[in-house]
Structure 1
Amino acid sequence: MPPQLPWLEIEDPFPAPALAWGPEDPAPGLLAAGGALDIEHLRAAYAQGTFPWYGPGQPILWWAPDPRMVLPVAEFRLHRSLRKTLQAFRTQAHCEIRVDHAFKQVITACASKEREGQAGTWIVPEMVEAYTRLHAAGHAHSVETWVHGELVGGLYCVALGRAVFGESMFAHATDASKIALSALVALCRHHGIGLIDCQQKTGHLASLGGREIPRSEFLLQIEKARVQPAIRWEFEPVYWNELLPTKTPKA
């Protein structure tokens, strides 16, 4: 029999991540159910490497997987085709990266995106509203790809200090979400942020340099990062140099 799953009342603290269900249990990484999606609970959850993930008709479910999928920004794989895309994007006046310009549009687009092998969405309406409130409080951000004044792709994430937790991406145009992710990587490199949490393993993230690390190692890294001063969440075109260094002319 699997261990009993804790049910959280509003006033209850989160169990320690080490108490999450293990590989032999029905849902490895599941930590607790219940609680609330207010700013206080979300901040407390992310501070200990825990995140909500559940579907329509389910209670709030909290997860702390082991191992944890992360993207070390120094290991980001800029494949040749994406490099060409970014080089063209940065030189065209009608293409731009915006940060926190249209957060609600981004998370709504992520919620409506159809995903292979997945029926429905885990970004239920309560999650959209909760993360929109978290954004208004300064703890959630969107990185957006704009072309000809239209939002064509983007992602949203949670940030505590310099701990960055990626949540979801969408694209309405080819490579638009990859461009946004590349911009986030460049932003993180510029500010000395070493890691982006990806929560769960996917082949797409692995192809871009994501890899799994032990939960204990992940928690140590975010514990250090989250107490550091928050960065300024904006994107300057010069940040592309973190991925696309300019060539120095020959003497």
Structure 2
Amino acid sequence: MIPWIRDNEPFPPLHQASREYNGLLAAGGDLSVPRLLAAYRRGIFPWFNPDEPILWWSPDPRMVLFPAEFKLSRSLKKRLAKPDYSVRVDSAFDRVIRACAAPREGAGGTWISEDMIAAYNALHRAGHAHSIETWMPSENSNENSDENGEELVGGLYGVAIGRVFFGESMFMRRTDASKIALAHLAGWLRRHDFGVIDCQMNTPHLASLGAREIARAEFAELLDRHAERPGLSDWRGLPGQEI
């Protein structure tokens, strides 16, 4: 039986996570900033459909991307060299998470509910959640364009604790737009000696970019080593740095 946690109760030990349900650890609790930070610090994340209670997960194995292992393919390297885009950080966090929440072709509904959007916006306002955004010249005037005539065409968001980045979701509206954002993030985090990027679950797309599975126990050791280190103080200053 999956444990039910009340708002003020701690999470169960990670070894109690269900093997049958791919790391389901507990249900209940809340999405407050302290609860979310406590969860990520232990390698736990929320993932549930709008008609379900809050579900907390700690899968074993865990999909991770070490910044130095990001695979920069020849085609992506050529794409990054084109001067037709810019990458920003934290300039449109709410728009990024809502773009990630939008229905996708060939998929059903989204797991990023309004409650999740509100919770991660609160994390962002508290300085813990960040968006990496790809912008390109707008092809026509629309609500996604800014005052410079650039359009938000892709990106990702996640949570940073110490020198660990916990990736949550990404989106793209033009070819390679999300890869451009991830390539810049991996480069910046490598330069700033981040230990790992958490990717949560295995997907062929992430594997093609260099992510790989490690044991949950190894992931917990990485968190102990890197999450307690001082974090970055100026995320918005990253776009001025080389990757």
Give the length in aligned residue pairs: 229
Alignment map for 1:96-245 (pairs within 5 Å): 96-114=86-104, 116=106, 118-148=107-137, 149-231=150-232, 232-234=234-236, 235-240=238-243
| Distance apart, 1:129 and its partner CA | 0.6
2: CA distance between counterparts of 1:115 and 1:167?
19
Amino acid at match of 1:209: G
Which has the higher mean CA deviation after the structures are superposed, 130-139 or 145-154? 145-154
Q: 1:78/1:68 Cα in 2 relative to 1: closer, same or farther (>3 Å)? A: same
**What is the identity percentage for the equivalent residue pairs of Structure 1 and Structure 2?**
52
- Quote the residue 2:144 is aligned against: none
1:5 alignment partner, one of 2, 10, 31: 2
- Quote the residue 2:26 is aligned against: 32
Match status 1:51 vs 2:52: no
User: What secondary structure is seen at the aligned counterpart in 1 of 2:235?
Assistant: coil
For normalisation by structure 2, the TM-score amounts to 0.91
| Distance apart, 1:54 and its partner CA | 0.4
- Quote the residue 1:76 is aligned against: 70
Amino acid at match of 2:31: L
2: CA distance between counterparts of 1:143 and 1:105?
11
Runs of at least 5 residues in structure 2 that lack an aligned partner in the other structure: 138-149
Q: 1:120/1:28 Cα in 2 relative to 1: closer, same or farther (>3 Å)? A: same
Task: Show structure 1 runs of 4+ deviating over 3 A.
Answer: none
User: What secondary structure is seen at the aligned counterpart in 2 of 1:184?
Assistant: helix
2: CA distance between counterparts of 1:110 and 1:51?
17
User: What secondary structure is seen at the aligned counterpart in 1 of 2:242?
Assistant: helix
| Distance apart, 1:119 and its partner CA | 1.6
Runs of at least 5 residues in structure 1 that lack an aligned partner in the other structure: 241-251
What are the Cα deviations for residues 191-244 of structure 1, in whole angstroms up to 9, with x where unaligned? 01131000000000000101000000001101221111111313234423xxxx
2: CA distance between counterparts of 1:112 and 1:236?
26
- Quote the residue 1:248 is aligned against: none
* 1:34 and 1:60 in contact (8 A); partners too: yes
2: CA distance between counterparts of 1:209 and 1:19?
29
* 2:89 and 2:239 in contact (8 A); partners too: no
